[in-house]
Amino acid sequence: MNFCSVCGAKVALRIPAGDHLPRHVCEACGTIHYSNPKMVVGAIPEWEDQILLCRRAIEPRHGKWTLPAGFMENDETTAEAAARETAEEACARIEVGDLYSLINVAHISQVHMLYRARLLDLDFAPGEESLEVRLFREEEIPWDELAFRSVAMTLRFYFEDRRERRFRFHVADIRTPSHIAAS
């Protein structure tokens, strides 16, 4: 950041009084510009014993499979974001259930939140950001072609919980980029 979004003056990176982290501070009007983690919100759309996945038509991870999810917008709840992202990426209507997983992806300053959701019908199709959408049984999940570790973690939690016949809320951390971490 070079300029203040309030007055347009130059900003400096420094630790404001009463804070402990460097922030962009406007040298003219004194506005402190905070940079905080982004919320990525999505759904695990269920139909009987199957999960709806989308193959990405955009970067990052073009061509890889994922759950419908994306950045939360202003003026919406996390559940609304999950339903919107599912409609945008899979043209699917869902009933949003319980929050299922919260995964902190600290090295890219993101928090991924995925809800269990029930598909309301089988009327789905690729949205603008998807090449393909389809239902998968557990044994059909393309594990080696999943776009994100948070999605793989969530799906592993999901299928383990389903086998145990009890779904619980999961919290996990991903601290290192995938090319560094041993998986």
CATH architecture of the region 1-35: Single Sheet (2.20)
CA distances from 180 to 19, 25, 56, 84, 110 (A): 32, 34, 23, 33, 18
CA distance 30 to 160: 51
- For the chain, give every domain's residue range: 1-35, 38-174
How many other C-beta atoms can be found within 10 angstroms of the C-beta atom of residue 89? Answer: 28
- What pLDDT is stored for residue 95 in this prediction? 98
- What pLDDT is stored for residue 182 in this prediction? 37
CA angle 42–87–99, rounded 5-degree value: 25
Q: Phi and psi dihedrals of 89, rounded to 5?
A: -90, -30
Nearest to 66 by CA among 18, 131, 163, 21: 131
Nearest to 162 by CA among 183, 134, 141, 144: 141
CB 100 within 8 A of CB 41: no
- What pLDDT is stored for residue 178 in this prediction? 66
- What pLDDT is stored for residue 1 in this prediction? 93
- What pLDDT is stored for residue 183 in this prediction? 34
Nearest to 58 by CA among 150, 130, 144, 142: 130
CATH class assigned to 38-174: alpha beta
CA distance 115 to 169: 10
- What pLDDT is stored for residue 62 in this prediction? 98
pLDDT in tens, the chain (183 residues): 999 999 999 999 999 999 999 999 999 999 999 989 999 999 999 999 999 999 999 999 999 999 999 999 999 999 999 999 999 999 999 999 999 999 999 999 999 999 999 999 999 999 999 999 999 999 999 999 999 999 999 999 999 999 999 999 999 999 887 654 433
- What pLDDT is stored for residue 181 in this prediction? 43
